[in-house]
Amino acid sequence: MYHLGLEEDLVQVVDERKQVDACVIDFEKAFDMVPHGTLMRKVEALILDKRVVEWIGDFLRRLIPVQFSDEPYLEKGTFLLYVQADEPETSYCIPGNVQHQKDYSRINGLPEGDEPLYNPALIKRLNFTQISSLFSPPISAANPGHSLLVRPLCRGDYDRGFLQLLSQLTHVGHISREQFLGRFSSMKACPDTYYVTVVEDTQTNKVIAAASLITELKFIHDCGLRGRLEDVVVNGDYRGKQLGKLIVMTVTLLAKELGCYKMSLDCKDKLIPFYNSLGYIDEPGNANSMTIRFDSSSIFKNPGITAKL
Ligand SMILES: CC(C)(COP(=O)(O)OP(=O)(O)OC[C@H]1O[C@@H](n2cnc3c(N)ncnc32)[C@H](O)[C@@H]1OP(=O)(O)O)[C@@H](O)C(=O)NCCC(=O)NCCS
């Protein structure tokens, strides 16, 4: 396990007469030999940064080696904790083969130091060549166009206008930062379920399009996985530039990549042609979307049911 970048960093820190503590944890043997729940409890007890614990949990659940660059820096199953005593805020953990956290953000196109809702590498490996005929000029999640970035929702998107964008779709309400972050954490605590995906204009640092894939574990279809497309919206100033198609197809390909047997959506009638053009169809005899709405004054708002609270 030889790491040139790390060695360089250590030499530099020693040259600057600063203190640095490094600790390498090799979990490779533990993967198959101990229950992951037990392992995670030990990791939680050992590691202070909650994001690192989440990353390791995610890694154990998937056991997919995450390839961020051509050259793996560390062996699979190895996590490097890197603590600079006099600058705790720059201390970090290097999961697997990531050189350091700046690289992690840069390589994955994330806002520096921000935390994504799900693994951004999932977006990078989506195969847009199979649907290239949809886009003219050609764009994809990896190459969405000048200054644009397709990525998972991040914690910092509260300040990048994510909620204002959603308010162009429907009623959002007054959501405090705490509420937003709480909901973000709750979503993240449901592994492999919430894939809220956004397009950011990196020139203005604003989120300008969004769509969500929510996956649902089923017993039917051989314990299959169903995908639901939710909350599709493009900022009014950016409409008509293929971004609606791009964000919908990003989460649609993601659903396919994750093994969903189907993906479905509800939409207004006028948007049927838009979704038809992307491969979504009404299934005759099986295409009704029905709703029962609840409000505060009665249990059921719809006519026919009179039950009151
Ligand atoms: C629907 C929406 C996401 C489309 O975004 P967009 O970036 O303008 O869409 P695109 O530029 O990718 O357009 C793709 C195609 O759909 C068509 N289209 C776009 N909006 C449409 C609409 N409201 N009704 C019908 N067709 C529409 C475009 O004409 C275009 O067709 P073309 O490829 O033949 O030129 C956007 O209008 C929006 O955010 N609307 C408000 C929120 C909303 O209704 N969301 C959907 C909830 S189900």
pLDDT in tens, 281-309: 999 998 888 998 887 666 666 776 665 55
Q: How far is CA 230 from the centre of its chain?
A: 14
**Closest ligand 1 atom, residue 248 Cα:** 3
Given this model, what pLDDT does residue 258 score? Answer: 95
Alpha carbons 245 and 239: distance in angstroms, whole number: 10
Alpha carbons 286 and 280: distance in angstroms, whole number: 13
Ligand 1 center–CA 236 separation, angstroms: 10
Structure tokens at 36: 């992951």
Is the minimum distance from the CB of 240 to ligand 1 under 6 angstroms? yes
3-state secondary structure the chain: CCCHHHHHHHHHHHHCCCCEEEEEEECCCHHHHCCHHHHHHHHHHHCCCHHHHHHHHHHHHHCCCCCCCCCCCCCCCEEEEEEECCCHHHCEEEECCCCCHHHHHHHCCCCCCCCECCCCHHHHCCCHHHHHHHCCCCCCCCCCCCCEEEEECEHHHHCCCHHHHHCCCCCCCCCCHHHHHHHHHHHHCCCCCEEEEEEEECCCCEEEEEEEEEEEECCHHHHCEEEEEEEEEECHHHCCCCHHHHHHHHHHHHHHHCCCCEEECCCCHHHHHHHHCCCCCCCCCCCCCCCCCCCCCECCCCCCCCCEC
pTM: 0.72
| Residue 106 pLDDT grade (very low, low, confident, very high; cuts 50, 70, 90) | low
Domain with CATH 3.40.630.30 in the chain: 124-265
| Residue 22 pLDDT grade (very low, low, confident, very high; cuts 50, 70, 90) | low
Q: What is the pLDDT of residues 182-218, one digit of tens each?
A: 999 999 999 899 999 999 999 999 999 999 999 999 9
Is the minimum distance from the CB of 229 to ligand 1 under 6 angstroms? no
Q: Return phi, psi of residue 306, to 5°.
A: -110, 5
What average pLDDT does this structure show over 100-116?
A: 67
Superfamily holding 124-265: Gcn5-related N-acetyltransferase (GNAT) (3.40.630.30)
**Closest ligand 1 atom, residue 233 Cα:** 39
Ligand 1 center–CA 244 separation, angstroms: 6
Higher-pLDDT residue of 175, 88: 175
Is the minimum distance from the CB of 234 to ligand 1 under 6 angstroms? yes
Is the minimum distance from the CB of 228 to ligand 1 under 6 angstroms? no
Sequence-distant (≥ 6) Cβ neighbours of residue 26 within 8 angstroms: 1, 75, 77, 78
Q: What is the pLDDT of residues 231-270, one digit of tens each?
A: 999 999 999 999 999 999 999 999 999 999 999 999 999 9
Cα angle 93, 97, 101 (rounded to 5 degrees) comes to: 40
Sequence-distant (≥ 6) Cβ neighbours of residue 108 within 8 angstroms: 68, 116, 120, 121, 124, 151
Given this model, what pLDDT does residue 37 score? Answer: 74
CA-nearest residue for atom 25, ligand 1, is 271
Given this model, what pLDDT does residue 38 score? Answer: 75
Alpha carbons 53 and 302: distance in angstroms, whole number: 45
* Ligand 1 pocket mutation, candidates 237, 274, 275, 280, criterion most atoms within 8 A of CB: 274
Give yes or no for a contact between 175 and 163, defined as CB atoms under 8 angstroms apart.
yes
- Compute the mean pLDDT over every residue in the chain, rounded to the nearest whole number: 80
What average pLDDT does this structure show over 44-63?
A: 71
Give yes or no for a contact between 66 and 96, defined as CB atoms under 8 angstroms apart.
yes
**What pairs with residue 234 in β-bridges?**
209
Alpha carbons 217 and 220: distance in angstroms, whole number: 9
What average pLDDT does this structure show over 14-27?
A: 67
Q: What is the pLDDT of residues 88-105, one digit of tens each?
A: 333 344 444 444 455 556
| Residue 50 pLDDT grade (very low, low, confident, very high; cuts 50, 70, 90) | confident
Higher-pLDDT residue of 32, 209: 209
